Amino acid sequence: MSTQAKYKFSDVDMVTMKDTGPVLKSTIVPPDRALSRPPEADVLVHAPVTIRSFKALVGDFNTDETTIMAMCRGFRFDVTVALKDLVNSRFAQDYFRLVTKMDETANRTTEDERAIRDWMLGPCLEIVGRLTSRLPRLRVMTLQDFYYPPMHRVKLVVDENRLSTALQESRQSVRARNLTMPSRSLAYHRRIPRIKASKVTILTRSRSRTDGNCETPEKVRLEDGSIKHFIPGDDSSEVLREVKAASHIRAAGLAGKLRVSQLHSIVMSADSKWIVGVLLDWIPPYGRLVDDPESPVQHGQRWRDQIVDTVKTLHKHGIMWGNVHPENILIDTHNDAWVLKIGNRSPPVFGDIMVRGAVQSDMMGMVEIFGGVIWEQVKQDWKETIKRRVTLSELAGGG
């Protein structure tokens, strides 16, 4: 049986170690000898080391060899384990059992994902702590720093009947391969502004209980002081949805006229070959509709009217919301309701795009959120809108 799968770890997946006593022995092998001979115990360290957090980002799982990319204090660690290095040890069976559960066809659970993460990253805690112990817990980083960080390549090896680590390579700046997308992916959308990742500063949560420099960026600041919301490029479908929605809104002349998330720019790497994500205008949040189930009762009419007006305007211009859910309604500090995540990911296509199914889905979703009273407000608009046919070129037109 062969396993092949890629997995993105959630933002809550942290490996954390405190001063709890003896740690696993670590083997440090100089890079010039790493591939020429078996690892030896050049340096043995037994002192406990505190690591605030060690964040797993993505995993590339294969039966023969698995790599997990992790971050700690702005440094990237590529941790690899190969089945051939575990032969004739008790760890071979453990590894095979864990990695087969990561197969994309398997019914893997959160516990399965955390099990192999902890199994691989646990032995690395000591060496990670030594390599990052002199760094500040929070430091100013740009998106370029985050996606092109200093990198240490670590290999798991069997040493004296225990899993140990061999430091194989250290480099100053390496692209986070699984976290970016090629620039050609959005080449069609030339009118959307571009901005260099080095010009975007990450705003970390200063009171975060974890290492803010290893958390996926969300809130960022530009050189002019403006605050933006960052959507990372590792979710290419999400990035494409935002860019296409922005193109449709701009083409319809609605940019800046609706309470919808507005695309600001596409964030490019220093060499312009890679997209690290996109920036949206920051909406000062009070919360989301889903955060308070009683909110529709207390403020239902105001929010209902705002959402209905926004969606009706979008429909008149052939633009579908397509992601109707309380999680995608943001309430700002002025108690106004905003529509997030515009753009049906898979509208029904029959030569041209018939908007009937998408419009009906939007309407039924709003009725479910705000109750049957909304139907009187939207049914006439729905009847008029479903008569329209929007061509594929209209909906897919570039910005």
Looking at residue 393, its pLDDT comes to: 36
pTM of the model: 0.73
Task: Say whether 361 sits in a helix, a strand or coil.
Answer: helix
pLDDT, tens digit only, all 399 positions of the chain: 455 555 566 544 555 443 333 333 333 333 333 333 333 332 223 333 344 567 888 888 889 999 999 888 888 999 999 999 998 899 999 999 999 888 766 677 888 888 898 899 989 988 888 888 777 666 788 999 988 988 999 999 998 888 999 999 888 877 776 788 999 988 888 889 999 999 999 987 655 555 667 778 889 999 999 999 999 988 888 898 889 888 888 888 898 899 998 899 999 999 999 999 999 999 887 666 655 555 544 567 788 889 889 988 988 888 888 888 888 888 888 888 999 988 754 443 323 344 445 677 777 777 777 765 555 555 555 555 545 444 333 433 444
Looking at residue 346, its pLDDT comes to: 42
Judge whether 8 and 107 are in contact, CB under 8 Å: no
Sheet holding 285-288, edge to edge: 285-288, 329-332, 337-339
Write down the residue that tokens 């051939």 correspond to. Answer: 84
Residue type, 29: V
The Cα 54–Cα 52 span in angstroms is 7
The Cα 9–Cα 113 span in angstroms is 8
The residue among 103, 74, 71 whose CA lies nearest residue 5 is 103
- If one counts every other C-beta atom within 10 angstroms of the C-beta of residue 15, the result is 20
| Cα 63 from chain centroid (whole Å) | 25
Looking at residue 51, its pLDDT comes to: 46
Packing angle, helices 375-385 and 295-316, rounded to 10: 20
The residue among 245, 203, 195 whose CA lies nearest residue 227 is 203
The residue among 240, 219, 223, 249 whose CA lies nearest residue 318 is 249
Judge whether 176 and 148 are in contact, CB under 8 Å: yes
Looking at residue 384, its pLDDT comes to: 56
Length of the chain: 399
Tokens encoding 202: 């990450």
Judge whether 279 and 195 are in contact, CB under 8 Å: yes
Looking at residue 96, its pLDDT comes to: 92
Looking at residue 391, its pLDDT comes to: 38
